[in-house]
Every structure is written in structure tokens, then in C-alpha cells.
Amino acid sequence: MPSFRPAATFPSCLGIRRHPRYSPGRVEADTRILLRTAEELGRRGYTVEIRDETELDDDVPARVIFTMAQSLRGIRRLRALQRQGRVVVNSPESIQNCRRNRMIPLLRAAGVPLPASWFVDLRSGRGFDSVLAGDGAQTRQVGFPRAGRLWVKRGDVHATDPSDVVAVDNERDLEAVLEQFRRRGLYRVLLQAHVPGSLVKFYAVRGTPFFFEYFPDPQTLRPIDSATLQYWATRAAEVLGLDVYGGDAVVTPDGSVVIIDVNDWPSFEPCVEEAVPFIVDRILQRARAAGAIEL
């Protein structure tokens, strides 16, 4: 278990490593951004301990916690520590807000541009025609869009397995995918209409100048209004309560921006070294504002 302990005495910080289940294909990258954050805090004179999110039941002396935890158990423990006066970045509430069943209604209510979306309860019937979708307090019958691709996603966490997000192009394939979700015991499913355009990924740290965007497929590169992308990404983070975040958006053929996903503390894989100083700045901003460390 790595520790960074400079000679100077400062309030200790605790970094929480994400469980591999919530880092499919990203375990090394997620670990790297956490350890680089710890190293930067150590370089600035703070004592840092690193734990797995399964190790939070032990005594936690740290007054400042920076976390990549995503399990409900980890979130509950972090919420208890926050109530005891610890500063937690990202906050437990914001982490839970990134679960799709909370994120979509919150962002929709705030006017953030999203794909057409429906939540489906698979317990209500076997066939798609008999499946009901929850839309806020309303419940209504939903039908497959008449044309175009649809994305089927688990309705809670973003992805723990490649089969958690599947594209379908017709109702027969949709039925087959929904049945696969049922068999896995995933009864809350999100359906989203495909948005034509170019995928762009973004990484950001709220309260700092850091905002990084890139097209993962250079062949789809198109002109983008960076100010609009940054506006909606920042707005989404504010609504969800995130400090350290990233996500996916689509730039449509007419130049509009549609937010597809927002993630709490992603890997920052293409921009780790650029992002780390700003991540630490934000952690210390939050800590100082709460009086957890001296100015």
C-alpha cells in the first residue's frame, strides 16, 4: 500500500482507489491518475495514504479524502465520513449522482442537451411492447423509434462489462438484448436514441482553468465550438456536484453539442500530467474552504 510521507507535519490526506469491477479495461490508467495525485500532494508537503475502496471500514484519521470509489458500500462509508467533518472530493452525493438513474433526470431538468432517453423496467413484462418506462413521476408505454440506432445501457453504473452498453438497429435485436439484461439480473435499463455526429471526449476540473477535449477517432474530426462544449460540460458537473470529472459528447453535423455521459473522476488518460496540478489545486481549494487545512 503506497504512502507518501514528507518530513513536514500537515493534516493527512487519504486517496481511495477504485475497485477493478468499476474500471473495466482501465485499472492501470485509473490507478495512475490516483497515484500521481498522491505524489503531487506529497510534493506540496502533505502526508498521503492510499487505500482500496473496500478498506474504508477501518479507522480513517485523514481530514481530506480524494476518492475514485464507486461501489454503494464505499459511497455510504464516504457519506458517513463526510458527516464526521471530512472533506471528500468528489463528494459521495456527486458520485451517486453519476449513476444513470439519477444523472439523466437531473441533467434533463437542468436543460442539459441529452439524447432522447427512456428508462425501462424489465420486470413489468417479457415483450418490449409490454415494458413500461419511467419518466420522472410519469409512467408511459414506449415503442422502439421508427428509424435509427438505439443504445441499450444498464441503468445504474456506467459499465462494468462490455455487454453493459449495446447498440441495436431493430426491434428484434432490442428484444434479444433486453432478454440478456434480464438474465443478468439487470432490470433497470436505459434506452437512448443514437445521435449522429462525431464523438468527443472531455476531462475537466471544476473551479480551475483545466478543460481538455479530444476526438478519439481522428477521422471523425470536425469543427467544434469549444466554448459551447465547455459550457454544457461545466453545467452538467455543477448540476451533479462534481469537482473532478470527464465525459462523452457528440458534435452533430450542424455543430450542436449533445452530452452523452458524465463520469466522476475518470482516468484522464490522454492528459494526466497536465491535469494533476489542477486536481490537487481543487482538492486544496475544497479543504481550505472547509477549514480542514490552514491557508
Q: Is residue 126 located within the same domain as residue 140?
A: yes
> Is 3 in contact with 62 (CB distance < 8 Å)?
no
**Amino acid of residue 165:** V
Res 132 pLDDT > 90? no
Overall number of domains in the chain: 3
**What is the chain's mean pLDDT, rounded?**
87
Per-residue pLDDT at 163: 83
Q: Is 278 helix (H, G, I), strand (E, B) or coil?
A: helix
Per-residue pLDDT at 293: 80
Q: Is residue 255 located within the same domain as residue 280?
A: no
In a domain, residue 44? The reply is yes
**Amino acid of residue 250:** V
Q: Is 229 helix (H, G, I), strand (E, B) or coil?
A: helix
Residue matched to cell numbers 433497470: 188
Res 138 pLDDT > 70? no
Q: Is the pTM of this model over 0.95?
A: no
Nine-digit cell string for 132:
413500461
In a domain, residue 100? The reply is no
**Amino acid of residue 286:** R
Question: What CATH number is given to the structural domain containing 164?
Answer: 3.30.1490
In a domain, residue 230? The reply is yes
Tell me the pLDDT band of 58, cut-offs 50, 70 and 90: confident
Choose one of 145, 172, 193: the last residue of a domain: 193
Query: For residues 130 and 61, what is the distance between their CA atoms, to the nearest angstrom?
Result: 52
